[in-house]
Amino acid sequence: MTPNTAASADRAELGARVDALLPRTLAELAELVAIPSIADERVIDPAECVRAAEWVRAAFRAEGIPAGLELTPDGSYAVIGHRPAPDGAPTVLLYCHYDVQPILDEHEWLSPPFELTEREGRLYGRGSADCKGNLVAHLLALRSLRGGTPADDAAAYPVGLILVAEGSEEQGRASLDRYAEANPELFRQADVMLIQDAGNFANGVPTLTTSLRGAVDVVVTVSALEASLHSGEFGGAAPDALAALIRMLASLRDERGDLSVPGIASDQVWLGVQYGDEAFRADAGMRDGAERIGSGTVADQLWARPTLTVLGIDAPPVVGAVAAIQPRAAAKLNLRVPPGADAAELRDALIAHLHAVAPWGVSVETSAGELGLPFSADTSGEAFRILSSALTEAYDGTQTVTSGGGGSIPLTTTLSRINPEAEIVLLGVPDPESRIHSTNESVDPEEIRRIALGEALFLSRLVTGS
């Protein structure tokens, strides 16, 4: 096959610009990581988030996107900008978020979480991958795309651009969703949305995430006694709320680890790229002898099927526990819902099951949190095809794969409801080694370089469709 010469030329030119601009991009990543933008005022002074928002605004303004700080319903600021498209050209929405997860146990970090630190080629720091690494990848793509053209020149970009940098994504408060619902006009102008908050299936393998599970939390509270009782005097006959809860939680899975809740199907099959057993064991950090649970393949279990996780249990801690029967116990459950399933139906089935299996006449109360709907991308569009081949080129010929996402990005569902015509694609710089949300989060700078190059190639080719 003869390579398209125009495309090869822009690949070489863009590649050289991305390479030359990468050091500056990584320096910017260090600046941004140094701002502890956790959008939780109980953890960090909200002024830090404002400082990060202002940094983002200034950086994108310098690239010719007239961005501003928009207050969203939870009090956080989204940085939003719109640069109208040249006549007849499409508009691309670039999404990322600048807030980060809390750092968890500070002592588990091998280097300070807010100091971008290099170790064996990877850059460590909270948000280095999720999602500040993606944010600077957008900047790198824009900067290399316009090359020497001034940012305010009408010819700087071949497409219209909308920037959406969310300020409280990690808090799960759906604040930007509510903002978008109240201000749908801007979001309706996008033809393509690059949701850069996903990641690569493996290091060096360009990946478009085509499905995401939805999620809902359910809290179940069991009570049976007025107050705690001496476990010797009353134990054996008195209904024990904690024991009842443990039986109920145990009924959620069968011996193999498959869900066993009536009304929640869990035999779906994943048809895209498979996730090897050994790779999964390594990525998950499974100890020798520990077995993977469930009857499907790893991909079936992670991307096609629902799952339930016990997030927390209210019970006395081991240290300080006394010889007493508990009058009350509670658990918080996290239900993940695959595309194709009805999240509300699954939530209701779970709640009905908890009531049905409660033993010994204990009283059961349940409450459910916000419903995050699953998402499934349409992979038949032009943008999907162009981006897929642009990424393959940026990754030196490695075929772009489609994978599922085990996590949830409820915003994708909101955006596709507001603008059903837009093509929504999910990608990003993290790889499985990034350990996003965990301690010692890191990013491979090569992934920032390649994703940015793929993005720049995509933006340059969207108009011509080549």
Minimum Å gap between C-beta 433 and Zn ion is: 16
Q: How far is the CB of 283 from Zn ion (least distance, A)?
A: 18
Q: Which is nearer to Zn ion, 208 or 264 (CB)?
A: 208
List of residues 6+ apart from 328 with CB closer than 8 A:
221, 222, 223, 224, 225, 241, 314
State which residue, 70 or 130, has the beta carbon closest to Zn ion: 130
Q: Which of 70, 169, 177, 300 is catalytic?
A: 169
User: Minimum distance between the CB of residue 426 and Zn ion, rounded to whole angstroms?
Assistant: 11
Nearer to Zn ion, 197 or 455 (CB): 197
> Minimal CA–CA distance to 31: which of 49, 52, 46, 47?
52
* Buried b / exposed e along 128-154 (16+ C-beta atoms within 10 A): bbbbbbbbbbbbbbbbbbbeeeebeee
Interface mask toward Zn ion for 177-216; x: CB under 5 A: --------------------x-------------------
The 31-70 contact track toward Zn ion, x by CB under 5 A, reads ----------------------------------------
Q: Which residues contact 59 (CB under 8 A, 6 or more apart)?
A: 28, 139
169 is catalytic: yes
Using an 8 Å Cβ cutoff, are 464 and 90 in contact?
A: no
- Enumerate long-range contacts of 13-19, CB under 8 Å, 24 or more apart: 13/147, 14/144, 14/145, 14/453, 14/456, 14/457, 14/460, 15/453, 17/143, 17/144, 17/147, 17/456, 18/140, 18/141, 18/144, 18/449, 18/452, 18/453, 18/456, 19/449
Residue placing its CB nearer to Zn ion in the complex, 70 or 197:
197
Distance of closest approach, residue 221 Cβ to Zn ion, in angstroms: 31
Distance CA 372, CA 177 (A): 11
State yes or no: residue 166 binds Zn ion (CB under 5 A): no
Distance between CA 259 and CA 261 in Å, rounded? 6
Q: State the minimum distance, in angstroms, from the CB of residue 169 to Zn ion.
A: 6
- Whole-number minimum distance, CB 436 to Zn ion, in Å? 7
CA angle 47, 50, 55 (to 5 degrees): 130
If the CB atoms of residues 197 and 444 are measured against Zn ion, the closer one turns out to be 197
Separation between Cα atoms, residue 66 and residue 392, nearest integer Å: 31
* Per-residue contact flags (x/-) with Zn ion for residues 91 to 130, judged by CB under 5 A: ---------------------------------------x
Catalytic residue among 63, 99, 300, 441: 99
Q: Which is nearer to Zn ion, 91 or 128 (CB)?
A: 128
Q: Residues 124-163: x/- map of binding to Zn ion (CB under 5 A)?
A: ------xx--------------------------------
* Beta carbon nearer to Zn ion, 131 or 163: 131
Q: Give the per-residue contact string, 238-257, with Zn ion (x = CB under 5 A; - = no).
A: --------------------
Token pair recorded at residue 71: 């207050």
Given a contact cutoff of 8 angstroms between Cβ atoms, the answer to whether 163 and 195 are in contact is no
- Of 171 and 392, nearer to Zn ion (C-beta) is 171
> Binders of Zn ion: how many residues, by CB under 5 A?
3
**Binding flags for Zn ion, 274-293, as an x/- string (CB under 5 A):** --------------------
- Minimum Å gap between C-beta 49 and Zn ion is 15
For every residue of 316-334, DSSP letters joined together read --STT--SEE-SEEEEEEE
Q: Would you tell me how many other CB atoms lie within 10 Å of the CB of residue 182?
A: 9
Which is it for strands 192-196 and 91-97: parallel, antiparallel or unpaired?
parallel
* CB 48, min distance to Zn ion, A: 18
| 447 is known as an active-site residue | no
- Return the bridge partners of 195, or none: 95, 426
Two tokens at 83?
């640069």
Contact by Cβ (8 Å): 216, 343: yes
Q: With contact defined as beta carbons under 8 Å apart, do 119 and 186 qualify?
A: no
Which residues here bind Zn ion, judged by CB under 5 A? 130-131, 197
Q: Which residues are catalytic?
A: 99, 169
